[in-house]
Amino acid sequence: MGVSPAWRMFRRMQYTAFAAGALIYAAAAAHAWRVLPGAPSFKLRWTLLYPSLYFLVTLITPLAAPPLRRMLQAHIWISFRTGFGQSVISVLAVVLVLATAAGFIYADTASAAHSGRFPESAFSAYAAGVGVLLAQALLVRRIERDPTLRPRIESAAWR
């Protein structure tokens, strides 16, 4: 039996949140590359190399550490059960959070373009957030394979 429409929409929301976050990060890095002073190797280190470490830590840790994985899976399941990602309002809430984070990274980059201080913390923090979004998207598939949750995923979200 297939999954319920509510689960399909929730799963799509998880994937979309990761994709939007990754695209926003790529746009912010491209913007920073264009407006910030410094050598290309310096920009590469602070917009891609060092933030990728934060991304990998926040991606791998919840997938590899069973206690953290269980906590994140419980959070994902509770989010689904409460209807998150299944209504226009919850989708707009995610978009608002991502837009706010994007606004912060762009404002930090613009400020750094004038002051000369590179916004490394903004890039690292955002990369860490994108890592969590990908971990959640991957754990959605793991939840689908859980034999105790599968029947509830196949039925309506509110049952």
Cα–Cα distance for residue pair 18/71, rounded to 1 Å: 19
Side chain identity at residue 41, one-letter code: S
Are the C-beta atoms of 3 and 153 separated by less than 8 Å? yes
Per-residue confidence (pLDDT) for residue 157, from 0 to 100 = 46
User: What confidence score (pLDDT) does residue 7 get?
Assistant: 92
38: left (phi over 0), alpha (psi -120 to 50) or beta: left
CA gap 24, 98 in Å, rounded: 8
* Non-local CB neighbours of 110 within 8 Å, separated by 6+ positions: 35
In tens, the pLDDT along 61-107 reads 999 999 999 999 999 999 999 888 888 888 888 889 988 988 988 88
pLDDT reported for residue 1: 62
> pLDDT under 70 in the chain at which residues?
1, 156-159
Q: Are the C-beta atoms of 143 and 153 separated by less than 8 Å?
A: yes
